[in-house]
Chain A
Amino acid sequence: MHELWSSRTFKFDFPVERLPVIIDRLRGAPDRVEAKLRGRAAALLTTRDGEAWSMQEHVGHLADLDALHLKRLDEIERGAPELSGHDMTNRATWEANHNARPYAEVLGRFRATRSVLVARLANWDPARISASALHPRLKQPMRVVDIAFFAAEHDDYYIAEIESIRAKTADAAPARPRMAHWCDLPSDAPMPLLERRRVIGELAMVSHVTLHAGCDVPVHAHVNEQISCVLSGRVEFTLADERRTLGAGEVIYLPSRAPHGARAIDEAVILDIFAPPSATTGIDRA
């Protein structure tokens, strides 16, 4: 059993020049989580041991806490004397119900929050590198480099917790291959003139979409990368600054957050590949 996080003591006496090293630790945390949990079955990822969080909830917690780290950076930036306190009951994580979402969405959110935190730290004004504010529980002044270090240590603590759960379930069965005919999968119609069948994996999702003539998906954007393969018919894609018509056999890659819309010129079938997967994409909110 390792030491409890709440009993950890800290010495914030290292030079600010260590910040790039600590930033890289923070940058690497989602990669460590991804490598550790790759191929684990959803049932194992979401299993709680009594009242303790599941592996997936631990990942969700890391993303939840990034909001606090960012808030504390805001406070240092505006010269607040004291940093925000943390809710030691971790209510945000309990209430988030991270187990109810696909694992890839939970990990994708952690990647997104972490990328914001890393960018914020990497672009911190060097003139304000020594500014500090009091940590309300530790009763110690913290600089930006100390907040980064604290977050990196917090990552390590919870990733070790994940490892401890993973090791206990290492002999359990990993995710197994599944197969089906598209026609046998459930369909939905998230918007008029559009039918969709999906296979949602842990790291990617494929949507088999039929766009009836005149179907017009408004321009939207999402964090998932999307690759659209037109299997039949013709579709006019609206991109940030141009329109392109694609026919059967053509494919388009849409980077994360790239605005795009689609209009069926005649009835078209598209295979949309998304990574990471998510229960909702742009058309669900259209």
Chain B
Amino acid sequence: MFSLEPWFSRSFTFDFPVERLPIILDRLRGAPDRIEAKLRRLTPAALTRRPGTGWSIQEHVGHLHDLEKLHLRRLDDLAAGAATLSLADLENRATWAANHNARPFIAVLDDVRRSRLALFSRLESWDPARLADHATHPRLQQPMRVVDLAFFVAEHDDYHLARMQLLMPAPAAPLRNWTGADA
């Protein structure tokens, strides 16, 4: 497997047509389903194991929930006609403080589903007359429209899903002679 490009090294070109929004929205809608399908067979120990000082798989999931507040706030910024979007906490203190490992995985995933639904609904009902409105992303120093924000979130999802994949334990050998007693 190839090494993963760090998120903060990513550069973005926001020049695609706003008509791509429904496609990007569906990527956002599908992220919790991808997480669930990827992780549903993992044990709590595998989900919460930290690789050194990095986040566990479950903490990466929780991080996606933590970030939804920022995404919604940035949509508020755009709606309010702000010149600059709200700044992210680059140290991700909310995720470190949340202690996502202490809760059942299903509760963490439920949080992601709920907050994603709120984001999705907000994006889906965005006023078409304001699709071209933009504000500057404070770290990238680039103007972003609502479609660019949606794309940014979808790419951020993908990045953390790939990080989860890299933390996945090797698949167990197939159960050759399974009987009910071993289930």
Contacts and interface: CB of A to CB of B under 8 A. Distances in A.
Interface in B148-166: 155, 158-159, 161-162, 165-166
Given A32-B34, A160-B22, A160-B23, A24 B176 contact: no
Interface residues of A, number: 41
Interface in B47-81: none
Contact of B5 (A21, A34, A164, A255): A21
A16 interface: yes
Contacts of A22: 158
A253 B178 contact: yes
B178 A252 contact: yes
Nearest to B164: A24
A24 to B, nearest CB: 4
A1 interface: yes
Contacts of B175: 253, 255
Contacts of B162: 20-21, 23-24
A24 B165 contact: yes
Interface in A222-253: 239-240, 242, 244, 250-253
A31 B26 contact: no
Contacts of A2: 19-23
Contact of A28 (B3, B13, B30, B179): B30
Contacts of B155: 21
Contacts of A36: 30, 33
Given A2-B23, A122-B1, A24 B161 contact: yes
A239 B23 contact: no
Nearest to B37: A31
A272 to B, nearest CB: 15
Nearest to A242: B177
A19 B30 contact: no
B2 interface: yes
B19 A28 contact: no
A157 interface: yes
A184 to B, nearest CB: 30
A55 B1 CA distance: 34
Given A1-B19, A251-B179, 8 more contacts: A2-B23, A11-B13, A17-B3, A28-B30, A31-B37, A160-B22, A239-B177, A251-B180
Interface of A: 1-3, 11, 15-25, 27-28, 31-32, 34-36, 122, 126, 129, 156-157, 159-160, 163-164, 239-240, 242, 244, 250-253, 255, 258
Interface of B: 1-5, 13, 17, 19-27, 29-30, 33-34, 36-38, 155, 158-159, 161-162, 165-166, 174-180
